[in-house]
Structure 1
Amino acid sequence: MSVIRVGTRSSALALAQTTTIANRIAASSGAEVEIVPIVTHGDTSTDSLSSLGGTGVFASALREALLNDECDLVVHSLKDLPTDVYPGLVIGATPKRADARDALCARNAWTLETLPEGAKVGTGSPRRMAQLREIRPDLTVVDIRGNIDTRLGRLVEGDLDAVVLAAAGLGRLGRLDGACTELLEISDWPTAPGQGALAIEVREGKLDRVLASALAAINHATTEAVTTAERLVLARLEAGCAAPIGATAVIDTGLFFLTATVYSPDGTRKITSSHAATPESHSVRDLLDAAHDIAERVATDLLAGGAAEFAPLKVNK
């Protein structure tokens, strides 16, 4: 393969994270790599994410470009990738995960605790909205759209007091230290399945040897396993990427842990389930087997506990 074409959204964040992946692929393969920007409907529409059908709206144009052979692979933020199988495409690699936490970016160095009563906090995520309403029901939660610079700009303009963003995205743009006033800890504020990780999607079937070798070199087995577990819970609930669900999986001292929480949209109720497994080894196959095991147990618990009764989930029976 003389040139490897990498498709990406054209936003600053997408280009930044894709450039990092492209550089790694070039170093691993020795091939020339070309970045192919693709405009998606989610980039051009000003409607809310929930009205557009969730964050999967960003992925569809990239996937069609890949199927149409306009590029050889595409780079997604994994939290934005729908869990449904997309005919003809597979995830070819999952690079090492960045910080999975959310970041509060507020005026006057406010934290979530010190924000004044009635402060306006912006986010486009139903999960974050539910969490804000749970922890600080006195706040005014504002549904917003736009890239990171647009959202942070609203703090400068003064029509918002704070916004909640992914720490990984801020970090990839070099904005974390300057913009973040508080990193929200996973134990109290679980984030979206797959948050902080990237997914490299390719056409299904036999890959070019050079590309296959490059993808194998940048895949991170632990990240693949833990994000698989998180996304399997999402898939089992058929909740969609914008549903109020947080999930966190970690592998520590030989144990595979998974915790997931489903929130009511108004933040008044939630249900949490945690399970652990002991993989037979650290091989990719054994880790993925453990991921499937604990994800099924966690999802079953959530449904048995009544999650489908207070969250907008389409349950897969």
Structure 2
Amino acid sequence: MSPALRLGTRGSRLALAQSRSVAEALTAASGLEVDLVEITTFGDTSDEPLATIGGTGVFVSALREALLAGEVDFAVHSLKDLPTGAAEGLTLAAVPPRADPRDVLCARDHLTLGELPPGSKIGTGSPRRAAQLRALGLDLEVVPVRGNVDTRLSKVADGILDGVVLAHAGLSRLGLLDAVTEVLDPIQVLPAPGQGALAVECRSTDTELIDKIAVLDDPMTRLAVTAERVVLARLEAGCSAPVGAYAVTAEGEDTQDEELSGTPEASRATSETAGSAVFMELYIRGAVVSDDGAVTIRKSVTGPVGEAEQLGRALAQEMLDDGAGTVVGAEMPAPKKENVS
């Protein structure tokens, strides 16, 4: 009998819940036994704001080091925590189906954002959430907060804060949705790139394991988060930057008579009606908001789902053209030189 696979995970209650869900799904699909190996990351031990200690990537490095050292066989991350750059020697083997990516408010007395009185203290550890909350103009005091989900919720229960903004997906995985008093519309507060999705990572050389883990991959989720992360990378912004991006897929219809071309076969399926075709379309929105909420840049693009990377780059470029680089502190790209023949 083969030894159980070792799955590296952070030790927080949420991380363990996420990793158990992946382990159970892999066992159900393949029969492989999986043991969880808890690894403490710097982000778990520091109380400093994420932007100060290096962004959400601080939750990833220790797991990756354990992978490369052979201490674990694969690891599970919250995908929004992954740096956008490639990790040498590692492969993103699967992106399972995404949970609800929206942000939620957990407030005292079951209040919504609009019902909270002026001056109410709202806690968040995310510069993105803080900036978008300030942009709403509700005269709320947005304050930094760290700690796990239970710690943050306790600050509301103890009257230290009037509310906290958290991820719907995390509360759902912990069975704490009863604490939610409002699900925030992405039109108001756009989620972080990759929010609600998980990333299953393993060594690039473990081809047999990569093939087995692939059963967990959801192609449409992978394409959506790919587009979102391209926006983040193109803006040269870190995981903790005030950047929101959210992509969704939907069916579209093309009624042109000529044969469709230029789109991967996986993204289109011909209907039974002559002269028309049904295909999958990707709609992606992006938002960059200054820390004080005074400057907001929002854009959106739509196109074939098979062109996720191109759509992400196009959206980021539109935002850069509107000044997003200044807001996130990125350098504007140098203009391309024209070839003169």
After TM superposition, the score normalised by the length of structure 2 is 0.87
Contact 2:288 2:298 (C-alpha < 8 Å) held by counterparts: yes
Q: Secondary structure of the residue that 2:207 maps to in structure 1?
A: coil
The residue aligned with 1:98 is: 99
Structure 2, unpaired ranges of 5+: 252-279, 335-341
Q: Give 1:249's aligned amino acid.
A: A
Deviation string 1:4-62 (CA, Å, 9 cap, x unpaired) is 11000000000001001001111222122110000001101111111111111100111
The residue aligned with 2:193 is: 193
The residue aligned with 2:135 is: 134
What is the alpha-carbon distance in structure 1 between the residues aligned to residue 224 and residue 97 of structure 2? 11
The residue aligned with 1:231 is: 229
Q: Secondary structure of the residue that 2:56 maps to in structure 1?
A: coil
Q: Secondary structure of the residue that 2:6 maps to in structure 1?
A: strand
Contact 1:236 1:315 (C-alpha < 8 Å) held by counterparts: no
Q: Give 2:309's aligned amino acid.
A: H
Q: Give 1:68's aligned amino acid.
A: A
What is the alpha-carbon distance in structure 1 between the residues aligned to residue 333 and residue 155 of structure 2? 40
Deviation string 1:258-312 (CA, Å, 9 cap, x unpaired) is 1111111111111122111124xxxxxxx2xx11111111011111111112333
The residue aligned with 2:10 is: 9
Deviation string 1:159-216 (CA, Å, 9 cap, x unpaired) is 100000000000000001x2000000123221100000000011112422xx334312
The residue aligned with 1:242 is: 240
Going from structure 1 to structure 2, the CA distance change for 1:315 and 1:194 (only over 3 Å counts) comes to farther
Going from structure 1 to structure 2, the CA distance change for 1:113 and 1:151 (only over 3 Å counts) comes to same
What is the alpha-carbon distance in structure 2 between the residues aligned to residue 273 and residue 205 of structure 1? 39
Asked if 1:67 corresponds to 2:103, the answer is no
Contact 1:77 1:197 (C-alpha < 8 Å) held by counterparts: yes
The residue aligned with 1:149 is: 150
Contact 2:114 2:138 (C-alpha < 8 Å) held by counterparts: no
How many residue pairs are counted as aligned between the two chains? 305
The residue aligned with 1:264 is: 290
Q: Give 2:327's aligned amino acid.
A: F
Q: Secondary structure of the residue that 2:117 maps to in structure 1?
A: coil
- RMSD between aligned alpha carbons? 1.3
Going from structure 1 to structure 2, the CA distance change for 1:14 and 1:192 (only over 3 Å counts) comes to same
The residue aligned with 2:204 is: 204
What is the alpha-carbon distance in structure 2 between the residues aligned to residue 69 and residue 164 of structure 1? 37
- For residue 222 of structure 1, report the CA deviation from its aligned partner: 0.3
Task: Tell me which structure has the larger Cα radius of gyration.
Answer: 2
What is the alpha-carbon distance in structure 2 between the residues aligned to residue 184 and residue 63 of structure 1? 33
The residue aligned with 1:284 is: none
What is the alpha-carbon distance in structure 1 between the residues aligned to residue 59 and residue 193 of structure 2? 16
Q: Counterparts of 1:162-177 in structure 2 under 5 Å?
A: 162-176=163-177
What is the alpha-carbon distance in structure 2 between the residues aligned to residue 132 and residue 266 of structure 1? 9
Going from structure 1 to structure 2, the CA distance change for 1:92 and 1:314 (only over 3 Å counts) comes to farther
The residue aligned with 2:249 is: 251
State the structure with bigger RCO (CA 8 A, min sep 6), 1 or 2.
Answer: 1
Q: 1:311 aligns with which of 315, 328, 334?
A: 328
Going from structure 1 to structure 2, the CA distance change for 1:314 and 1:19 (only over 3 Å counts) comes to farther
Structure 1, unpaired ranges of 5+: 280-286
The residue aligned with 2:54 is: 53
The residue aligned with 2:274 is: none
What is the alpha-carbon distance in structure 2 between the residues aligned to residue 38 and residue 259 of structure 1? 35
